Amino acid sequence: MDFGFSEDEEAFRREVRQWLEQETPQRWIELDPGIWEETEESWALAREFRRKLGRKGWLAPAYPSEYGGSGLTHMKRLILAEELAYGRSPISIETEIMVNWVGPSIMLFGTERQKKEYLTGIASGDIIFCLGYSEPNAGSDLASLQTRATEVGDEYVINGQKTWCSYGHLADFCWLAARTDADASRYEGISIFIVPMKTTGITVRPLINILNRHSFNEVFLDEVHVPKENLVGQKNKGWYQLVIALDFERSSIGYAAGNQRIIEDLVKYVKDTTRNGEALASDPLIRNELAQLVVENEVARMMAYRIAWMFSKGLHPSYESSMSMVFVSEVMRRTADAGMRILGHYGELDRDSKWAVMNARIMRMCLSSLSIGVGGGSNEIQRNIIAMRGLGLPRK
Amino acid sequence: MDLGLSEEQEMLRKSARDFLRRECSKQLVRQLDESDEGYSSELWRRMAELGWMGLVFPEKYGGSGHSFLDLAILLEEMGYNIVPGPFFSTVVLGGLTILAAGNEQQKMEFLPKIARGELILCFALTEPTASYDAASVKTTAIARDGEYVIRGTKLFVLNANVADYILCVARTKETKDLEDGITVFLIDGRSPGVTCRLLKTLARDKQCEVIFENVTVSEKNILGRKDKGWPIVKDILQKAAVAKCAEMVGGAQAALDMAVSYARERVQFGRPIGSFQAIQHYCANMVMDVSGSRFMTYKAAWKVSEGLPSALDAAIAKTWVGEAYGRVVLSAHQIFGAIGFTMDHDIHLYYRQAKAAEIVFGGADFHRAVVAHELGL
């Protein structure tokens, strides 16, 4: 066993850290958009930053170099993801989904033309995908999706409604799951398509999230024609492709690293703050709360490290990813809760107030952390996976 | 980074597991729990033959020169199976302390005998305040003609009832700095003036009250330097906390395995209860707790093995693992339902262990305070 990083890996960490310090735009730091808080301005900054990352080969470092990757080892990718999140870099959730779900699926199931066109675009930061999975009646039960794709001549004609499409209003393409065989069983008749968002018949309507920002969308598809070559993989086998993609590298290290930064901010705050002449840092209850957060975040970090380590050994994590996700999502919620208890009334203030502390990160996190245990498979679904796949408990 | 075990470590784990399944049945565990001695001399002898007692001692002291991490692997297996007896107090609390702080003569005298299974040790630190701080050491050792006279009461001393030697932490000097003036003595358990009373405890482990009434001990039996014993105590408490975590990981894994296998088989409403989401989610939480515990434990054990600063990681591990073991075994009880509430069933053996392990060497609040200190708060 060895819980350390090699000298080469430590040097890489320093390189990443230094690069991020140089390249993170000052304006981004001023705007300080948290998760689900992007604005048009921050989005533009993030898009530019993604291109810079792409030129460095760091946006999709796992891809083969012919498609814009840089062949970094699993451990270096872990370090990169950790530093990007810890550094509050201009990179967001949809980037991870696109790079880590859509890209690898194209790699596994796509045609050579699809690989050339889309993988290169993803890795350079020039193409944005949104995810077209969920529907109003297909959330956790994704296999009940009803959006229909019908083969007509050289095309598929798609009709239906998708929801929770993160950044669908800004995306170039939708990675869409649709039913191609209405008579087959629910898992058998699903296919995956790449749908350009500019196609006639697509209407995008904003859903305003709990932070009062436009990040999600409803996407309506009315007689949307896509060429047959936009089918990814085999017709009617989309469900199986989709399930495999859910197991792709989701180490959730970014969440643990971002949360560590928040905990460090809290530690600094209590060190610097006195109330009634007493340093907050000397309050035993506050010390206890912060210590517990540090303990839990360490567990979350190690669970995430394990995923990267398994990949580096050629193993394929499945329920281990679910464990990592469930755990870190709940640690983040508890961090927000504890932060509110520590800050008291000050924790309630939004950042336009001159009285706000920690740039209102805790109050924002109170809201944003609600999403983590819900999106991409709720914690209940993840626990089912842990129990059935990990522990072999029966389905019926 | 490598989170896996080496081939040699896998072999150690497997041979320990096989041996304990064969030689340490739950029937024996119960029998020893109910006995006064709390250990089987036959099992003790065979463990020594396997080289377990000397695992972490260098070869010149009769050991096999393995690492602390290897010891943690062995302790995990012992925790999985529950092995009653003075292994922890002899090897971890006694042996490692002598190895770290003893002079050459003491090491040559004690360690080979421990390795051969000929000596049982215990560590007498806590007193009626029941806490692990220097201020609580009230037992005194007063110098008199090249000897020391020990007076005081030690409480919650594990396995003192069968110990050949007692490592006794006593105050040799009164100063403002409570961590100064503490000395560790090696005292023959049969010395005149030593009285040992067995305490009846939840875990049925053999904790004792040990009274020192004008017990004389030669100054040659001082471990480390006079008055400078507290750093020795702190160091061993840190290692002991991590070692206890390893035992707890094993116990938690056993409780999880038992509960999962029951959930697969127990049928109610015409289906295995393990197919119900409520039970599945208990199990999912349990396996997360066990995995997290294992990582925290081995990370801390690795740091100890490598000689890296490990105060923070040891405290993180003891905080997390102690509480996690408690949650795991409680969920196991819930899954077993009524059958778990019987003496016949094995799960209560783990429940009792978990409660004791959470407290010993400082509970979660104690270790959270250490974490806060390490954060510079």
B299 and B193 in a common domain: no
Q: Quote the number of domains for chain B.
A: 3
Answer yes or no: do A295 and B280 touch at CB < 8 A: no
Domain membership flag for residue B1 = no
Residue B125 has pLDDT above 90, yes or no: yes
B272 and B157 in a common domain: no
pLDDT of A117: 93
**Which residues of chain A lie closer than 8 angstroms to B274, CB-CB?**
387, 393-394
Q: Model confidence at A97, in pLDDT bands (50, 70, 90)?
A: confident
Q: How many angstroms away from the CA of B143 is the closest CA of chain A?
A: 40
Specify the amino acid at residue B351: Y
State the distance between the two ends of chain B, measured CA to CA, in whole angstroms: 30
Domain membership flag for residue B74 = yes
pLDDT of A245: 78
**Which residues of chain A lie closer than 8 angstroms to B69, CB-CB?**
1
Interface of B with A in 348-377 (CB under 8 A): 365, 367-372, 375-377
Q: Identify the residue whose tokens are 């790449």.
A: A194
B250 and B262 in a common domain: yes
Last residue of a domain, one of B199, B228, B257: B228
Q: How many angstroms away from the CA of A217 is the closest CA of chain B?
A: 32
Pick from A290, A302, A306: which is nearest to B377 by CB? Answer: A290
ipTM of the complex in this document: 0.90
Q: How many angstroms away from the CA of A387 is the closest CA of chain B?
A: 5
**Which residues of chain B lie closer than 8 angstroms to A393, CB-CB?**
260, 263-264, 272, 274-275, 279-280, 283
Specify the amino acid at residue A234: Q
Which residue on chain B is closest to A299 by alpha carbon?
B292
B368 and B236 in a common domain: yes
Last residue of a domain, one of B93, B119, B145: B119
Closest CA to B275 of B337, B283, B253: B283
Q: Model confidence at A93, in pLDDT bands (50, 70, 90)?
A: low
pLDDT of A99: 84
Note whether B311 contacts A: Cβ–Cβ < 8 A. Answer: no
B236 and B370 in a common domain: yes
For residue B17, what is the domain's CATH number?
1.10.540.10
Could you give the CA distance from residue B108 to residue A103 in angstroms, rounded to a whole number?
63
B149 and B169 in a common domain: yes
Mean pLDDT of chain A: 93
Note whether B58 contacts A: Cβ–Cβ < 8 A. Answer: no
Give me the mean pLDDT over the B343-351 stretch. Answer: 97
B254 and B175 in a common domain: no
Q: How many angstroms away from the CA of A396 is the closest CA of chain B?
A: 5
pLDDT of B184: 98
Strands A148-152 and B271-272: unpaired
Q: Identify the residue whose tokens are 């000052």.
A: A26
**Which residues of chain A lie closer than 8 angstroms to B283, CB-CB?**
386-387, 391, 393
What is the percentage of chain B residues whose pLDDT exceeds 70?
100
B236 and B223 in a common domain: no
**Which residues of chain B lie closer than 8 angstroms to A326, CB-CB?**
284, 288
Any idea which of A44-48, A290-294, B227-231 has the lowest mean pLDDT?
A: A44-48
Is A89 strand, coil or helix? coil
Residues, chain B: 377
Give me the mean pLDDT over the B71-81 stretch. Answer: 98
For residue B173, what is the domain's CATH number?
2.40.110.10
Domain membership flag for residue B223 = yes
Which residue on chain B is closest to A75 by alpha carbon?
B1
Helix axes B7-23, B41-49, angle to 10 degrees: 160
Domain extent at residue B223: 123-228
Residue A334 has pLDDT above 70, yes or no: yes
pLDDT of A71: 87
The conformational region for residue B196 under phi > 0 = left, psi -120 to 50 = alpha, else beta, is beta
Interface test with A, best of B13, B67, B327, B375 (most A CBs within 10 A): B375
**Which residues of chain A lie closer than 8 angstroms to B279, CB-CB?**
393
Q: Model confidence at B335, in pLDDT bands (50, 70, 90)?
A: very high
Pick from A291, A299, A392: which is nearest to B295 by CB? Answer: A299
Which residue on chain B is closest to A326 by alpha carbon?
B288
Give me the mean pLDDT over the A335-342 stretch. Answer: 96
pLDDT of B286: 98
Q: How many angstroms away from the CA of A321 is the closest CA of chain B?
A: 11
B177 and B53 in a common domain: no
Interface A-B, measured as beta-carbon pairs within 8 A, has a size of 141
Domain membership flag for residue B257 = yes
Pick from A292, A303, A383: which is nearest to B291 by CB? Answer: A303
CA within 13 Å, CB half, A297: 23
CB atoms within 10 A of CB A152: 10
B336 and B271 in a common domain: yes
Work out the burial of residue B372: count CB atoms within 10 Å of its CB; fewer than 13 is exposed, 13-18 middle, 19 or more buried.
buried
Domain membership flag for residue B165 = yes
**Which residues of chain B lie closer than 8 angstroms to A3, CB-CB?**
1, 3, 298-299, 302-303
What is the dihedral sign for C-alpha A324, A325, A330, A336? positive
Mean pLDDT of chain B: 97
Which DSSP helix (H) or strand (E) runs through A341? helix A319-343
Where do the domains of chain A lie, and which CATH numbers do they carry?
7-91 (1.10.540.10), 130-237 (2.40.110.10), 250-390 (1.20.140.10)
CB atoms within 10 A of CB A141: 10
B22 and B137 in a common domain: no
Domain membership flag for residue B115 = yes
Structure-token pair, residue A156: 């598929």
Closest CA to A344 of A281, A275, A295: A275
Query: What confidence tens digit (pLDDT) does each residue in B159-194 have?
Result: 999 999 999 999 999 999 999 999 999 999 999 999
Pick from A3, A75, A323: which is nearest to B291 by CB? Answer: A323
Residue B42 has pLDDT above 80, yes or no: yes
Last residue of a domain, one of B87, B119, B151: B119
Query: What confidence tens digit (pLDDT) does each residue in B248-291 have?
Result: 999 999 999 999 999 999 999 999 999 999 999 999 999 999 99
pLDDT of A231: 98
Note whether B320 contacts A: Cβ–Cβ < 8 A. Answer: yes
The set of long-range contacts for A373-376, using a CB threshold of 8 Å and a minimum separation of 24, is: A373/A326, A373/A329, A373/A330, A373/A333, A375/A93, A375/A164, A376/A97, A376/A246, A376/A250, A376/A325
Which residue on chain B is closest to A3 by alpha carbon?
B1
Interface test with A, best of B289, B291, B320, B365 (most A CBs within 10 A): B291
Pick from A294, A312, A326: which is nearest to B316 by CB? Answer: A294
Are A94 and A130 a contacting pair, CB within 8 Å?
Answer: yes
Could you give the CA distance from residue A359 to residue A340 in angstroms, rounded to a whole number?
13
B142 and B45 in a common domain: no
Domain membership flag for residue B361 = yes
Which residue on chain A is closest to B264 by alpha carbon?
A393
Taking the CA atoms of residue B125, residue B129, residue B130 and residue B136 in that order, the dihedral angle to the nearest 10 degrees is -30
